[in-house]
Each structure stands twice: as C-alpha cells, then as structure tokens.
Structure 1
Amino acid sequence: MALNEPLNRKLRMALVGGGAGSFIGRVHSIAACLDNRAVLTAGALSSNPERAKSSAPDYGIADSRAYGSYEAMLDGESKLPEDERIDFVSIATPNHTHFEVARAAVEAGFNVVCDKPMTFDLAQAESLLETVQNSDVVFAVSHNYTGYPLVRQAREMILSGELGEINAIRSQYIQGWLRTQLEAEDQKQAAWRTDPAKSGAAGAFGDIATHAYNLGRYMTGVLPDSVSCHLKAFVEGRKLDDYGTAVIRYENGALGTVTASQISHGRENDLEIEIDGTKGSLRWRQENPNELIYRQNGKAHQIYTRDPNAEYMTGSGAGACRLPSGHPEAFFEAFANVYTAAFDAMAKRAAGEKIDQRDTIYPNVYDGVEGMYFIQQCVNSSADNAAWLPLKHAAARK
C-alpha cells in the first residue's frame, strides 16, 4: 500500500510549542512520525521568538521553516505552493493558548491535532467547535490513552454487548509529583499547570481527570446525565486543585466515579479503569497496558494480552498493534495510534473526499467540548458543596 494513499507521500507537520523544557512537544513529534507517515517540517516552538528559532535545530527544522510565532508560521506556510506547505498543525502549548492557535489554523485551512484539554474554558471550546463545523478540516484531540490496543479491544467488547448492560464505571488517575510546591521553585511543568491564568479553572482535574473521564466515555459509549464533585488543594498556597473525586450518574442508570490526585506519595502515572456490566467486568491499567482482565462470577479470571494474531483480538484491538506478542507496546505507540487514525482522515480530505468530523475512532472536537464541559461542571459543583449539576451537553452528544 502506498504511503498515505492516494497522496503517496508523507504528511507535512508543523509543531506549535515544544521548545526547551517541553515534555509533550517532543512526544507529539515522536508519535506523529513513528509510522513514517509524517515529517516535522515547520514549527513555532515557543512564545519567545528567539527561543522558538533556537529550538528548531533540536527537531531538525530548517531555518527557513522555523518561525518566531504561530501567526508568522500560518501566514508563511499559507503562501507556499501546495506541494510544499504543511498539512497539519500540532498544538503542544499550555492550555490558555490552545484556542487562538487552533482557531487560526482551522481558519487557514490546516488540519489540527490539539493537546488536551482542548481549550481554556467551555466558551472557547464551543466557539472552536463552530469554527471546525464550518470547515472541512480534520480536528483531533490527543486523549492518547484511547490509542492503546487493549483499550480499543475493550471498547469493541463492550459495544458488542459482551459485558451486558453497563452498571458502573470507576476510573482514576493517580500521581504524586506535585506533593510539594514545585511551582514555587519555578519548575516549568508545575508552574503553568498550577496557574489559573494558564491552566484554567481546574488543576489536577483539568490535567489528568479529563483523561480518566474520557476513557470511560470512549470505552463504554454510555452517556452522562449529572455530576457531583469535590475538589481540594492539599498543598498550602496552591491555587488550583491537586486532588478530587467526582460521582457521575449516567443516562442508562449506571454510576461512575472519577478520582484524580497529584499528591499521592510514590505514584507515577497510574491511570486505571474498571467497568462492571451485567454479564462481566473489565479492568485495564495504563502502567501495565498490555493486559486486560475480564471477570465473571464462578469462572476463572481471563487475562487478555496484546497479541495481534490471537483469535480473541477484535479488529480495532489488533489493528492498533505494531509488534508481535511479548514485545511491549505503550505510551508512544498509543499516542501514534491517535495520529495514524487522524492521518487516514487527512489523506481522504486531501484527495477531495468528504470526512466525518464527529464519529471517529480518534478523539475529536466534540470530545474536546465534552471534556471542557466536564471540567466546568466539576468546578462549579465543588464550589457549591458538591451540588448535582447536569452533564449533558447537546453539541457534544454522539
């Protein structure tokens, strides 16, 4: 099969953010290029023009395509011939900048892969959704945990009815790296994540609870109805939450919980989800991502391992694998699966075919809106003594 058929070439990538000290920018560049379907061609790697250009050699970006700002990049790339200009923009910047960059890229006609949470607040998310709807671009949101093979395996199993009716969804994302006030030491990653002016109204809940919530929605398809939430900052002087728990009522009568912590000693990136159905239960843990546990009363527990050639693997589960069984696949590969699914749509769009912006295997702008609504309602609920608030957002419904 030709590369990105029918284009028969690599897609040209531009990166916004990712300069010195960035974690997620490097992840985006590696994930996008992992399958040899894209090449990092241009970038505006920092809000500081000098730092933006000085960071370009770290990524192999030519001086002529190293821009001092995203505005200059979009303007310069738009003026290039079609066979030279970028195909998509990846946004790997703090939350408060996502909206302006994404909107400008969409309005310029470029596809977008945006880091989560999609915007600074819900109003921006709703405005961005309208902008995307009025375009024909591919818009993906990097909820990368949806790209793990056994997450997609579980999704197909659940949607095909193997678990029966879903009764409960328990998800958590537990970290410990913010146990001390790192932001006071000017640690870059801590500084912007704990700053309301850059991170938004939520801290840990905006940063990692959104992943836990999105994973439950992605795997089950069950629609939320209402939420009650407690958020708290345990570290003295911290302006945003570093711990919280939400209880969710779903439309089908199921109950769910989402817990997020960034102050639990010794915990690293423990994203875990358990789903209970009338026929069986599933458990998946990100720190052991190549195993999925399936349980039924009175029967031996089953452990599904990541094996693209096994008869028990579903189509999307096997399709998300790159290596034979026993060779672990994890974070970068899952991230790349979000990209490669978006690339399929980008190639179709470039060939003049109509694309579906809503019903996609990769998280999209509608998922981004739902994530921002979840954050807003959790913050508002917590501020009102964990009052029950609606969690139905009409525009984000799938």
Structure 2
Amino acid sequence: MDRKIRLGMVGGGPDAFIGAVHRKAAALDGHFDLVCGAFSRSYEKSKETGEALHLDSERVYESYDQMFEEELKRPENERMDAVSIVTPNHVHFDPAKKALENGFHVIIDKPITFSLDEAKELEELTKSTGRVLALTHTYTGYPMIKEAKHRIAAGQIGDLRKIYVEYPQGWLASSLENEGNKQASWRTDPEKSGAGGAIGDIGTHAANLAEYVSGLEITHLCADVRTTVEGRLLDDDSSALLKFGEKVSGVLMATQVATGEENDLRIRLYGSIGGFEWTHTDPNTLLFKPHEEPAQILRAGTGYLTDLAAKNTRLPAGHPEGYLEAFANIYVEFATAVNDHFNGSYKSADDYDFPDAAEGVRGMAFVQNMLKSSGSDKKWTEFKV
C-alpha cells in the first residue's frame, strides 16, 4: 500500500495519559495518519481534543459506535483503516469487538480486556475476521530486549535456568484515588480495572516480558497478592514464584506501593554459561554476564548487535531512545502487518513481532491465576488459560 494507514482513536481525551503516547508513537515513523476519533464520553472534550489535533470537525464523533457507522459510509479511499483503543480496561472489549466486526484493524492498550472471557472472545473474533490485532505491551519493543531474546534463543547463555522479573512503582503508596487523581481512580476501581489492580496494570507487563525474552511460557505459579493501603478495593502489591516447565524457575514481583520508586522494571535471566540483565531506567544497555569472565556492556545503536535489535533502533550509539520509541516499534510492526493484509500477504499475527490477542489472553489468565493461587493453601497452582 503506497499511502499512510488512516487511523482512528477511541479514548485519549484531554485528561488522558496514554492516548497522547499512542498518538506520538503512531506518528513517529510516518506510517499512520490520524483522521478521526471518539476521544471521550463527553462530546465537548472529544471536540476539544479534535480541535487540538487539527482534525476535520465532521470526523470527531460523540461515540465509537457513531464513528464506526459514519466511517463505513465514507468511500474506501477516505475511511479509516484501523483504530487505536486507549480507554480504561472496561472500555476495551466492546469497541475492539465492533471494530473487528466492521472490518477495521485494531491496536489496543494492555491489558486486552476487562476479563478473561472477553479476551478469549476477541482472540476468536480476530481469527474469524482475519483482521490484525496488536497489543501494546510496550517493553517488548525495546531494542535491547529484542537483543536479549535473540541471544538467548541462539544459546549464548546455555540452558536457561532462572528468571527474575520485578516491576516496582511507588506512586500508589498513598490513597491517591481519594484525592481526585483520575489515573489512580480508575486503576483501583474493580468496575473499571477488572479483577486485578497492580497485577493487571503492571504485573501483566512483567509476566509478558519474562515470556517474551525467554521464549517460554509460565506453567505454574505460587502467588501472594495483597492490598496494603487501607480502604483500597484492588491489590497494590504482589509477588510469585514461577515455573516455566520442569527446568526453569522464576520470581516475579509487581508492586505499586514501593515508596520512592518510579518505574523500575527489571529482568534478569540466567543460564548454564551466562546471564543477561536489563533495566528500564537504563534501557539502551544490556548486561551480558558470561561464566567466569568479566561482564560485558552491550549498547543500543552499535554495529555488533543483531539484526533484530538494529531493526528496532533509529539512532546511532550514544543517542538515547526510550519509551516512545519502544511504543513506536510496536506500531511499526502493526503497520507492516496491516499493509501486508491490504496486499494479500498477511497470514497470521505469528509472522510478526508484536504482542497479539493470544498474549492478551495469557495476560488476563495471569491475573486470574495469580488471584487463584494467592487464595489457595496449595504451594503451586497450574497456569490455566
């Protein structure tokens, strides 16, 4: 396809955080043109956002239902091709379902849906419609994460033995949800966030990252899920022992009450002859720790990296890339898949390097399994989807 992909958006109004991130990520490499949106439940706020983005006022809609209906009336050479869904969790499923049913491709913020049943239905709908659905598990987009994934698959650290993944935040150490903080309010509300608080918001990121880099799936877990702030309705602190089959074990920690921490996602993986370590606070660095040799510092943008990392890097070494670029890497791969769909060469999401509906299902299953394990007196809970 010799043009930009025409993108619509659901959510991302004036008070939103993640909507602006999605828009910047989509714009970064020039593959998308934002042409329409239903940015808020409030039509006034939706119009305010449309004006700020210099959109045609006729394509700023009161609801996503109206957007899908009106966009389908437009000629094929004008209507949107795909939609970005950036709403709170409880408003993921319905617009995604309707978009797929109406022939639009979908990119959606994580977690994929409000519940596991909804996630499974979206996965089946993606298969039956043949449309592309991508999920923005952002941290898989970092080039040095992709470098670690490639080197582990190539056997550089030998047989994998141990995985540690931790995601400490401190922003919910107090009851911000009772102080008018919109981001805290919906994330701690089970009617909007779903069954998981911290485990849904950041625990799913940690679990997804561990599976992505290792190439393995969690098979069993032993979890402790807690609520530490008095009166809070959802969990804000969790940890778990993990099994990835018979030979690989792990430890996961996801908490939003680690006072003083910002967003320090970290993963360490150890094999029989070496290990890798990556942290979100220094994302352009990957530490390689060979057995009985000095640790090596691998840096983004350098000539010695694999093609997978190079493909996801835009700047030379020493020029920092970060969160927006990692987000954009998922949008680029989504654009590739959408273009292939238009050209008739798209087969399935398995052929592309972005999180898809299947990973979304595993994310929702992670929440359910963590809660089940935490409420059980058994040491291990089998991870079931």
Shared topology, TM-score over 0.5? Answer: yes
In the TM superposition, residue 386 of structure 1 has moved relative to its aligned partner by 6.3
Q: Which residue of 2 aligns with 1:306?
A: 300
Q: What letter corresponds to residue 178 of structure 1 in structure 2?
A: L
Q: Which residue of 1 aligns with 2:64?
A: 70
Q: Does the 8 A contact of 2:157 with 2:273 survive in 1?
A: yes
Match of residue 263, structure 1, among 253, 257, 260: 257
Q: Does the 8 A contact of 1:12 with 1:88 survive in 2?
A: yes
Separation of aligned partners in 1, 2:280 and 2:44: 38
Match of residue 367, structure 2, among 370, 375, 381: 375
Alpha-carbon RMSD across the aligned residues, in angstroms, is 1.1
Q: Which residue of 2 aligns with 1:45?
A: 39
Q: Which residue of 2 aligns with 1:91?
A: 85
Separation of aligned partners in 1, 2:53 and 2:361: 31
Separation of aligned partners in 2, 1:33 and 1:261: 32
The list of structure 1 runs, each at least 4 consecutive aligned residues, that deviate by more than 3 angstroms after superposition, is: none
Q: Which residue of 1 aligns with 2:117?
A: 123
Deviations 1:25-71 (A, max 9, x none): 00000001100111111100012233222221122222011001010
Question: TM-score, structure 2 length as denominator?
Answer: 0.98
List aligned pairs for 1:248-327, cutoff 5 A. 248-308=242-302, 310=303, 312-327=304-319
Equivalent position SS for 1:224: coil
Deviations 1:47-105 (A, max 9, x none): 22332222211222220110010100011111111110111100100001101111111
Q: Does the 8 A contact of 1:52 with 1:69 survive in 2?
A: no
Q: Does the 8 A contact of 2:14 with 2:48 survive in 1?
A: no
Q: Does the 8 A contact of 1:230 with 1:385 survive in 2?
A: no
Separation of aligned partners in 2, 1:24 and 1:244: 24
Q: Does the 8 A contact of 1:44 with 1:52 survive in 2?
A: yes
Name the count of aligned residue pairs.
385
Equivalent position SS for 1:134: helix
2:200 paired with 1:214: no
Identity of aligned residues (%): 41
Structure 1: any 5+ residue segments left out of the alignment?
Answer: 1-6, 394-398
Q: What letter corresponds to residue 94 of structure 2 in structure 1?
A: E
Structure 2: any 5+ residue segments left out of the alignment?
Answer: none
Match of residue 170, structure 2, among 163, 172, 176: 176
Q: Does the 8 A contact of 1:158 with 1:220 survive in 2?
A: yes
Separation of aligned partners in 2, 1:223 and 1:332: 27
Is 339-348 or 353-362 further displaced after alignment? 353-362
In the TM superposition, residue 252 of structure 1 has moved relative to its aligned partner by 4.0
Q: Does the 8 A contact of 2:167 with 2:253 survive in 1?
A: yes
Separation of aligned partners in 2, 1:213 and 1:359: 22
Separation of aligned partners in 2, 1:171 and 1:60: 42
Q: Does the 8 A contact of 1:229 with 1:386 survive in 2?
A: no
Q: Which residue of 2 aligns with 1:151?
A: 145
Separation of aligned partners in 1, 2:349 and 2:148: 23
Separation of aligned partners in 2, 1:240 and 1:385: 21
In the TM superposition, residue 384 of structure 1 has moved relative to its aligned partner by 2.1
In the TM superposition, residue 392 of structure 1 has moved relative to its aligned partner by 4.3
